[in-house]
Structure 1
Amino acid sequence: MTMITTELIDSVCENLEENLPITKTLPEEGILHIDKLLPYICVYRYKKKDRYFSGLLKTQGSYLIVKDTVDISNLLTCLSSAIASKLNACLILEMWPVRKDHKADFEISCPKGKAPATVAAFEEGINELRVLYPEVSVTVSDTHKRHPERLEPLMNVDSSKETGNLIIGLAVPTIYERPEEHHVYSIFYRKFTTQLSAIIKRAVYEFIRVQTSNPFDHYLMLGKTHLDRLTLEADAALAEISEGMSFLLRTTPVNSSQEWVKFKENDFTKTPSFNYRLIALDPEKEKRKLFGIQIDKVDDPTISFILRDKRLEIEKQLTMLEERETDSFRFIGESLYGSIEEKVIKGADAILKTYPSGKDPDNIVKFDCHEFAEHAQKEIDFYQEKFPHLKLSLEIRKDVAGIMVSESTLLISTELSMDSARCDALIQHEVATHILTYCNGKSQPIKQMYTGFSGYDQLQEGLAVLAEYLVDGLTVNRLRLLAGRVLAANAMVGGATFIETFELLRRTHNFPEKTAYYVTMRIFRGGGLTKDAVYLAGLMQVMDYLKDGGKLETLYTGKFNTNHVALIEELLHRKVLKQPQLPRFLERDIAKERLKKLRHGISITELINK
């Protein structure tokens, strides 16, 4: 047997005593990793290292992977004693791969009566794996033999009792591979790894809930807190490509104002001809960089999922830039932003039936770009103090339509003319939502938090429109505009032309000519972009989320979609992410009152005060 030096053991235990993260290389290519003081450690002793089985353990915050010819008894005794001295007990989970006659049977080895809640959590979780693999089964053996047959016990059972340790054996069927075919089912493996990782943490949580001095309020807090170099590098590489695309800027016309004048002069009979910024990158080269990123080496299943999902979105956006001004642009965009759900179309119809025409306030006062900028600057200055390490700014430019945000910069069109009563609502939409979530995301260790998860637009826009409602700035015209975008996008997907869509808005739904034009322009830009339908879809999604008891605060952590909320909450529990700065408008009495209404549940048409 190869021995581990006393110096290395002492070093490990000193780090553990001071609650420092540990990553140590052991003899014969072994590795010990302990993210923080945790009440358990997963152990895998191999004859020949299986990188896929090793990957199952590497999803945990505490693991020991080592060749079976290395004596780890002294190391384990030191580790488990140090853990037990601080937390009263320590669970040692030895895991090993099995595949008998192609069966899918998990085997749990644990003496009867010892930690029944832990064993029950393992059984329940493993049975849930049948959703992935129906043949999965689990047996529990009441035995003192908790290790592979070919190996000796990790520790003497009696001495482990004295130090407050419990050893459980878990034989895991390698159903993700066919060794005789030298084949691994990669997609299934990723799902299997993610689910097994959660099963282990839930079972460990049951152990510590009963047996230890428990500093953990949730099983997710057992996950990794520290991100390794490979994870950070993959995240940074994705962010660099995403930021370099400037996708929306490159798919938005630079001559929309000039074309409006021509369109009107031609009595709305000639389809506008839009010009776009030159694409200063090579999508093919960017794709080569994209798929050179080593996401397969990211051990954390949650972050690995986020990065893979984002990579797929970036690939589609790069292809869309290549296909700009073609039909393919639209088709790829539909797969990117998803189809328009029937309930969203019904919601848009309900809005336009309830409010069949716009409503202009009496004695309307207009703000031009400079007046709006003056008010917006005050809000930007407030958040600048909250994020002194970032540069927040605004620009008045000729090449943008209306108002938009690019990272931490508010872009305002020189042609802007708006109802002064809408000023505050639009500032909360753009600055206190889009810029704030960018700044919150920029303050996190994961760059995707500010560049945006896959499909983040829907929640971002829904949250931004929600801000308008909470500050009492959501008007009939604004809600009608969101509904009009949905119906325009649906018409375009159904084969309507630019002019047919424009006339649908102008004649059927009574939109002003210029409004109908700009809605149609946004829908048909680049060759057809259904993104604008996500504003209403996102608003309805956030309303459902709040009615179901969702935490509004979580949504400001960065840029993601509602299907990512569980992942964000996991990363917050694990302290990978920091709690976000919240918009100051939430302190207003009217915002608090309206938030209560939303939690009780109201319909989309009830957002307007009648």
Structure 2
Amino acid sequence: MLKLSEQEILAHIEAGECFECEVLDGSFNLKIEAYTPVICASVHSGHRFRTALIGNCALSEEERFYEEDPFTDQLIQSMPITLMARDSRYEYDLNRPIANCIYNKAWGKTVWATKLPNRERHESLRKHQQFYRILDALITAIEKQFGAALIFDVHSYNHMRRDDETPTFNIGTEQIDLDRWLPAVDLALRGLTNLELPNMPVSARENAVFFGRGYMISHVNSRFQNTLVLPLEVKKVFMDELTGEIYPLVMQALSEQFKQCLVDVSTFFSRRFTTKKRAKKTDMLAEKIDPAIIKIDRALYQLAKNLETLFYINPLNIAAERKQFFKTNGNYLPQFRYRQLDIDPYQFREQLYHLPVNTIRDPSIQSLYRDVINGLSEKIGLLVKAGQPEFLYESLKYYGEPSQSDVKNAQFFLHASSYTEPQIETVSTQGLLNMMRDAAKQWNMSCKVEANTKLVAKAMVSNSRKAVMIAKDLNVSLTEAKALVHHELGVHMATTLNAQTQRLKVFSIGLPGSTLTQEGLAILNEYRSGNMTLERLQGLALRVLAVREMLTRNDFRHTYSYLVEEHLLSQDEAFNLAVRVHRGGGFTKDYLYLNGVSKAFELSKQRDIKNLYVGKTGFDYLPVINEMVERQLVKAPAYYPSHLNAQIVNSPVLDYLMGCIHSNSRPSIRSKATIQRVAA
């Protein structure tokens, strides 16, 4: 990090330059990633105490730490303009006027065992004055550019020593002109109230425990007419206030939602009170990518770039086992063989969890990378157990199992009667290869299309090779062939190619839930391109029931017999589907196709889903992906289905059937939250 003098900092601000630095004396850090109408300050986040003062101080390090506001800098670090104190408030308190910014007593305790020498006192006062000169210059520049400024003055407070009920968040408004700024204050209170923290209620109140009588707001109010300071106290629910130990899960949830609240209030403030009337939420955040994200992303990609599940899960000896199975009239339990895993799972996990994700400033992006790392750890656990009895447990952990809603959806489709005549025209492997190549050329996709003798599925995409692979000896209807083109090329290859253009390779690795999302989008594309049939939906439904039977009996022979006898599949069809759900030792993935399309169909009716095509994404991450695209951290997708612009008209019967799918949306469990206004 740059170390700059006060004069250099002031010169950068006057020139309107973006920079990040530590002031030469180390008393605070200043970051300007983009000029917005908003400053975030944590004036009590510091713990540094000059060596020359330690001998004079009557308090231990632990006693000083208890009254400081640790981790408040983490709550604001994702915002573009931040001022973070590094010196302890026990040296000088930036939230007190210069005349009494050096404590004699604090919270009933004598601070100094011996009188401070004048030179040390003057040094502390100099740093106090320096901070406010730089703050004044920053506000001046922002007011000049935007007409008004907003300062989030963020603190934390100890609550265990109090007997009364205390709020999670407190905004002190005693020095705020509520006739003018009330809408922004109320929005902040409402936003804070809606935060959800693990295992605790959340409340936001005005003037409940603190009234906003600090020096920062007094200083700014006396010098600037168009700047709102919001003194915001956060109860130390994110840490053990006695020991100083942080609660990581609470802090993660708090940081992510606190950021969103700051952005919401900032956007409203900009539209209502500044000259930037058409501000978007992403205008309140920087477009410059955090170097920590790039560093972690590259390291993660090097670890996980070749970790393709199906490469290790697809059996090597399907043809031989098929022959033996039918030779015994289905009275044989296939003994599948799999590729050896060429990755040390312990070392892989160790390297994953050594990645310093906590250095990523933006809590939403940090959370995304944490989830990806956890998902990769679970995936390696799955691959390690391929061909072993424990594989089924790992599959359940990674993919889950069909819910009651999934089974009902499947049974609904299987009870539907066919409403179209069977198609006579069929397409062979070579015919489908030609169709894929023609479509790839038409859509300007640079990829391979080739036949493969070892596929369990009719077709699949190899992400690492940028290849669409078609099964040998294929014979499908023309509609099914078109559906495969839109499924494999229109979604799987599209997202592969889009991911390869991204600076962040996490979208090539795949976000948690990417299998569900990819298959859901792919089947939705079959439907909206006009190539969905009832038979296709019934095939997906059979996969759900096949997974259920596999989980119930865990016997390949039973699953095969069930499909032949109960659902009248041909012997080859039943064998292929039984292989799909029993490979590895019990592979539950296949229920996700129907589940995924139900989610994709429902989500597409509610919002624009185009940005799900930027790579191997997940439904749950669409909000953060949208934000990253708007901030230009991620490129908008170059390849995406044409139905996003204009949907092809389908059969009314098919539209009805698709509309009857029930999504497995989980209800939101919200914390009990309250908002109160208390008269000053």
Q: TM-score, normalised by structure 2?
A: 0.80
Residue aligning to 1:7: 8
Taking the aligned partners of 2:148 and 2:219, their CA distance within structure 1 comes to 15
Question: How far apart are 1:142 and its partner, in Å?
Answer: 13
Q: 3-state DSSP class of the match of 2:171?
A: strand
Give the distance between the partners of 1:298 and 1:51, measured in 2 at CA: 18
- Residue 184 of structure 2 is aligned to residue 118 of structure 1: yes
Q: Deviation digits for residues 543-590 of structure 1, max 9, x if unmatched?
A: 22234x222323323222222222222323433333223435428966
Correspondences of 1:293-442 after superposition (within 5 Å): 293-355=355-417, 361-368=422-429, 370-384=430-444, 392-401=447-456, 402-407=458-463, 408-442=466-500
- Aligned equivalents of 1:424, 1:362: Cα separation in 2: 13
Say which is worse superposed, 569-578 or 493-502, in terms of deviation.
569-578
Q: CA deviation at 1:158?
A: 3.0
Match of 2:84 in 1: 65
Q: Distance in 2 between matches of 1:376 and 1:125?
A: 50
1:591 equivalenced with 2:644 (yes/no): no
Q: Could you tell me how far apart the structure 2 residues matched to 1:325 and 1:130 are?
A: 42
Cα distance in 2 between the residues matched to 1:397 and 1:518: 16
Paired position in structure 2 for 1:555: 612
CA distance in 2, matches of 1:117, 1:142: 21
**For 2:180, what is the secondary structure of its paired residue?**
coil
| Unpaired stretches in structure 2, ≥5 consecutive residues | 49-68, 88-93, 95-123, 663-680
Q: Which residue of 1 aligns with 2:154?
A: 95
| CA displacement, residues 229-262 of structure 1 (integer Å, 9 cap, x when unaligned) | 2122222222333322222211111222332232
Map of 2:144 onto structure 1: 85
Q: Report the Cα offset of residue 600 of structure 1.
A: 12
Deviations along 1:212-243, one digit per CA (max 9) or x if unpaired, are 12265433542343221212222222233332
* Alpha-carbon spacing, 1:153–1:89, altered in 2? closer, same or farther (3 Å): closer
**Structure 1 residues 416 and 242 mapped into 2: Cα distance closer, same or farther (>3 Å)?**
farther
Between the aligned partners of 2:274 and 2:645, the Cα distance in structure 1 is 44
**What does the per-residue CA deviation read over 1:302-343, in whole Å, with 9 as the maximum and x for residues that have no partner?**
111111111111111111122111222111211211231211
Relative to 1, partners in 2 of residues 1:145 and 1:466: Cα closer, same or farther, differing over 3 Å? closer
In structure 1, distance between residues paired with 2:81 and 2:609: 33
Q: Is the alpha carbon distance of 1:114 and 1:108 closer, same or farther for their aligned partners in structure 2, counting shifts above 3 Å?
A: farther
Is the CA contact (8 Å cut-off) linking 1:92 and 1:167 kept in structure 2?
Answer: yes
Matched, 1:578 2:638: no
Secondary structure of residue in 2 paired with 1:96: strand
- For the Cα contact (< 8 Å) 2:197–2:254, is it kept in 1? no
Quote the sequence identity (%).
21
Consecutive unaligned residues of structure 1, counting only runs of 5 or more, are 386-390, 606-610
Q: Distance in 2 between matches of 1:587 and 1:528?
A: 36
**Structure 2: which amino acid aligns with 1:48?**
H
Partner of 1:38: 36
Q: How far apart, in 1, do the equivalents of 2:8 and 2:283 lie?
A: 31
| Larger deviation, residues 517-526 vs 274-283 | 274-283
Distance verdict in 2 for CA 1:244–1:363, change over 3 Å? closer
Q: Does 1:160 align with 2:224?
A: yes
TM-score (norm 1): 0.88
Q: CA deviation at 1:42?
A: 0.4
Amino acid at match of 2:342: A
Q: Which amino acid aligns with 1:557?
A: V
1:271 Cα shift? 1.6
Aligned-CA RMSD value:
3.0
| Alpha-carbon distance between aligned partners in 1 of 2:580 and 2:454, rounded to the nearest angstrom | 14
- Alpha carbons of 1:104 and 1:143: their partners in 2 closer, same or farther (altered >3 Å)? closer
Alignment of 1:472-511 (within 5 A): 472-511=530-569
Q: Which residue of 1 aligns with 2:170?
A: 107
Q: Which moved more, 1:114-123 or 1:166-175?
A: 166-175
Compared with structure 1, are the counterparts of its residues 600 and 217 closer, same or farther at alpha carbon in structure 2 (3 Å cutoff)?
A: farther
Supply the distance in 2 between the matched residues of 1:594 and 1:75 (Cα, whole angstroms).
Answer: 67
Contact 1:216/1:222, CA 8 A, preserved across alignment: no
| Displacement of 1:166 | 2.2
Change in Cα spacing, 1:576 to 1:600, as seen in structure 2 (3 Å) is farther
Higher gyration radius (CA) = 2
* Residue equivalent to 1:48: 47
**Pairwise mapping of residues 207-226 of structure 1 onto structure 2 (< 5 A)?**
207-214=269-276, 216-226=278-288
Give the match's secondary structure for 1:272.
coil
Judged with a 3 Å threshold, the aligned counterparts in structure 2 of structure 1 residues 587 and 594 are, in CA distance, closer, same or farther, namely farther
Change (3 A) 1:153 1:146: same
Alpha-carbon separation, structure 1, partners of 2:416 and 2:490:
30
Q: How far apart in 2 are the matches of 1:159 and 1:599?
A: 65
Deviation (angstroms), 1:352: 1.2
1:166 to 1:554, Cα distance in 2 relative to 1, 3 A: same
Cα distance in structure 2, aligned partners of 1:241 and 1:344: 35
Q: Which residue of 2 aligns with 1:388?
A: none
Greater CA drift, 123-132 or 226-235: 123-132
CA distance in 1, matches of 2:657, 2:271: 34
- Hey, what's the Cα distance between the residues in 2 that align with 1:362 and 1:178? 68
Structure with the largest fraction of helix:
1
Change in CA separation of 1:590 and 1:246 when aligned onto 2, cut-off 3 Å: closer
Alpha-carbon distance in structure 1 between the residues aligned to 2:369 and 2:625: 13
**Alpha-carbon distance in structure 2 between the residues aligned to 1:228 and 1:212:** 27
